[in-house]
Amino acid sequence: MPKEKNNFENKVSLWLKKFGSSYDNGTYQVFDTQKEMLFCKSCVKSFLCKKVTHLEQHEKTSVHQRCIKKPMKQCLINTLNSDNAKDQFNRDLCNALVAANIPWNKLKCPTFKNFLERYYSRHMPNESTIRKNYLVSCYNEAINNIQRSIGEHDVCVIVDETTDFTGRYVANLIVSKLSCHEAGSPYLLASKSLERTNHLTVSRFVNESLAPLRVQVYREKLPDLPLPPEPILTRWGTWIESTIFYADNFENIKKNTVSKFYVVMDFAADGSDSIEKAQNIYKNNKFNELQYIKVYFSILPTSLKKLEEIGLPLTESLQIIENVKQSLKVAPGEVSKTAYEKLQGTLLKNPGYEKLSEIYNLLNGEFVDSNINFSVFKYAPITSCDVKRSFSSLKNVLTEKRTNFTMENLEKYLVCYASAKYQ
C-alpha cells in the first residue's frame, strides 16, 4: 500500500520535536497551527510554514531569539487573520504616538524599536501599517468621544484660519459644549486646507465640518437607507441621480415611516443655508416635482454614462442622442418642452452634428451620393470626455510637491504619462 501522506499538523509536530518544542493534545507551547500558517506565541507573529526550512528561518531571527528569553504570555486567538489583542496593541500604540506627537517613522529607529520589543515582547508594526490600518480607527474613536462628551447639549462653534509653513490656508473648527453647570472643553473637530480665505470658503468649510454629525444622526434614524448620492458640479447626470434618490425616499428622509422619527426636519439649521433650504422643500411638499423628474428625465444619467465610454461606435453614440431627443419630445409639461428645445437648439448650432448624422446614415446602410470616406468614422468620438480625463492626469502629476515643472517639460511629461496608459 502507498504510504499515507502526513497532514500539516503531523508534519509540524515532527518538525517541532527536532527543535525540542513539546506537543500536547494538538496544542503547541510555542506555535499554533491553522492550515499552513504558524503563530509564534513568543513573537506574537504569524508566518507561512510549508517547509521545515521556513521554521528554521524563523527560529534563527533575532526577534525570536530575544522573545523566547522572556516569559511567554497567554495569547487567545480565534483566527490568525483577526488577532484582537494585536489589533488593540497597535491601535493603542498609534494613539500614544499621536498623543505624544512622535512621528511614526521613528519606529524605524533601531534603538527605539529594540527598546519597545524588548520590554513589550512584541513585534513592532512599521509606519505604513499604523498609517493605513489604525489612524482611521483612532480618528473615529476621537469623534465618538466628542459626540459622547457633548451629548444633546447646545454647542459653541469657533472658526479661524492661518497659513502653514508651505503657504497653504488652513482653517480649524472648534466645538465646545454649552452648559450652565460647567465650562465645556474645546474639541478640534476639523482642520482643512482652503483655496482662499473669504466668507464663502469659510462658510462652506463650517457646513462640511458639521456634516459628519448630521450623517451620524441620519444613519441612526435610517439604518437601512444608504446616504444620499452627492452631485458633482461638472457631471450633470449625478444631479438627476440625486433627484431620483430623493423621489424614491422622500417621505423616509423627511420622517422615518417605521420609527416615526423626523430626520431632516429635526436638524438644527443654525444658519446653514443648505439645511434651511432642505427643510423648506419638505415643508412646501416638492414630492410631485421630484416624481416628474424621475419619470421623464431618468434617461439622462444612463445616456450620459454610456456616452462617456471609450471606443463607443458612432452609430451607438448618435442613437443615444436620438433616443433622448424622442423621449423629451413626447414627454408632457413645459419643463420637458423647454429641455427638448434646448437640446435641439444646441444640436442645430453645431454644424459638425449634421455632418455626423449624414455619416450615421451611411454607416447604417442608407447609401446616398456622398464623397465621404465614412468607414474611418466608425468609432469617432462625439464628446470631450477624453480631454476631461487628461485633466485628471494633470492633477495626478502636478502635486504640491512637484511645482518646479516648467510648462515645456510638464507638457512632455504629461504626453509620456498619458500615452503609457494605452501601451
Residue range 56-76: mean pLDDT, rounded: 67
Res 64 pLDDT > 80: no
Which residues belong to CATH 3.10.450 in the chain? 139-221
Distance CA 181, CA 154 (A): 13
- If you average pLDDT over every residue of the chain, what do you get? 78
Contact between 38 and 49 under an 8 Å Cβ cutoff? The reply is yes
Q: How confident is the model at residue 119 (pLDDT cuts 50, 70, 90)?
A: confident
Structure confidence at residue 23 (pLDDT): 39
Pick the CATH number of 139-221 from 3.90.320, 3.30.70, 3.10.450, 2.20.200: 3.10.450
Task: Please check the confidence at residue 277 and state whether its pLDDT lies above 90.
Answer: no
Greater confidence (223 vs 354) lies with 354
pTM for this predicted structure? 0.52
State the Cα–Cα distance between residues 32 and 367, nearest whole angstrom. 76
**Average of per-residue pLDDT across 242-251:** 88
How far is the C-alpha of 227 from the C-alpha of 219, rounded, in Å? 8
